[in-house]
Amino acid sequence: MSQRISYIFVLLGAILWGTTGTAQTFMPQTVHPLAVGASRLAIGGFTLLLFLLIMRKINFRYWPWKATLLSALAMAAFQYCFFTSIRLSGIAIGTVVTIGSAPAFSGIVEWLLLKRRPTRVWIIATSLAVIGCVLLFSNTGGIIVNPVGISLSLIAGMLFAFYTLFNKEVLEKVDAVPAVAVIFTVGAIILMPFLFLFETEGLFTGRGIATMVYLGIVTTSVAYILFSYGLKRIPSSSAVTLSLAEPLTAATLSVVIVGERLNSTSWIGIVLLLGGILVLTFSGRKRGNKHLI
C-alpha cells in the first residue's frame, strides 16, 4: 500500500466517524450517551473477534498485550471523558475542544516520546484544520463554559492521541483487523459496568438495535479498521490531524440530512478544515515515515 493510499484510508475512517452524530439522532433519547458508547464498542469488538475466532484468523501466541491493554484503556477512558464533557459543557464546546486539541497533543507526544519534531507541512495543515474546526462550531449560541467539562475535553483529546500512539505499536506486530477486534473487545469489557449504571431504556427497541448495529459495525469496526490500516504506514500525529474530517462530515450531514443551517463563519471554517486535510493528504511527500511528522 502506498503512503498516499494510507492517508486516504485514515480519511475514510474519519468520514465514517463523522456519521455517528447523525446516526445517533435515530436512537431513542432515553438512552444515555455513555451507554451508547459502551454498546458500540461491544458490538464492534465482540462481533469482529467472534468472526476471527470462527475463521481461525487470529493468533494470540505472540500478541503484544501491553500495548493492546494501553490502547483499550485509552479508548475506554476516552469514551468516559468525552461523553461526560459533552454532558457538562454541551455538544459544541465539548466536541471542538476534544477534536481540536487531539492533533496538538499527538504532535507533542511524538516529539517528547519518539523524538520526532513536527515538520512545516504538518504544522500548517494542523493549524488550518484546528482553526477551521473552531470556526465551524462558532455558530452555536448559549455555550456553557464549564471548567470541569473543558478539562475532561482536553483529557479526552490527549487520550485519543495516546490511543493512536499505542495502537500504532500494536499494528507493528499484528494486522489491523485482529488489532481492532481485540482492542475494542477489551475496551468494551472495561466499559460494560456503565450499561448497568446509566439509562438504557429504548436501547433494545427496533430503532435502537438498528442504530446500534450501524454504530458498532460501520462507525466502529469498519471505521477503525480503515484508520488502523492507514496508521500502519503514516505517523500517528498526521493520522490524528486527518481525523478532523469527522466534524467536517458531521457538519455536512447536519445540513443535508438533519436540516440545520450554518452561518458564513462556519462555512469559512469548513473551507479551512478541508484545506488543512487536503494539504496533509496530498502534500506529495515521498520520504520515509521517520521524516513525516
Per-residue tens of pLDDT for the chain, all 293 residues: 577 789 899 999 999 988 887 787 788 878 887 788 888 889 999 999 999 999 888 889 889 999 999 999 999 999 889 888 877 877 667 777 888 888 888 888 888 887 888 778 888 888 888 888 888 777 655 555 678 988 998 999 999 999 999 999 999 999 999 999 999 999 999 988 887 887 888 888 988 999 999 999 999 999 999 999 999 888 888 888 888 888 788 778 877 776 767 778 888 888 888 888 888 777 644 444 433 33
Would you put residue 184 in left (φ > 0), alpha (ψ -120 to 50) or beta?
A: alpha
What pLDDT score does 288 carry?
Answer: 41
Q: Distance (Å, rounded) from C-alpha 136 to C-alpha 255?
A: 12
Q: Distance (Å, rounded) from C-alpha 104 to C-alpha 111?
A: 11
Domain boundaries, the chain: 3-291
Q: Distance (Å, rounded) from C-alpha 118 to C-alpha 103?
A: 11
Rounded to the nearest 10°, the torsion over CA 163, 76, 152, 223 is 60
Per-residue b/e over 30-60, b at no fewer than 16 CB within 10 Å?
ebbbbbbbbbbbbbbbbbbbeebeeeeebee
Write down the pTM of the prediction. Answer: 0.82
What pLDDT score does 247 carry?
Answer: 79
What pLDDT score does 293 carry?
Answer: 33
What pLDDT score does 141 carry?
Answer: 54
What pLDDT score does 91 carry?
Answer: 66
Q: Distance (Å, rounded) from C-alpha 106 to C-alpha 228?
A: 16
What pLDDT score does 286 carry?
Answer: 46
User: Roughly how many angstroms between the first and final C-alpha of the chain, as a whole number?
Assistant: 19
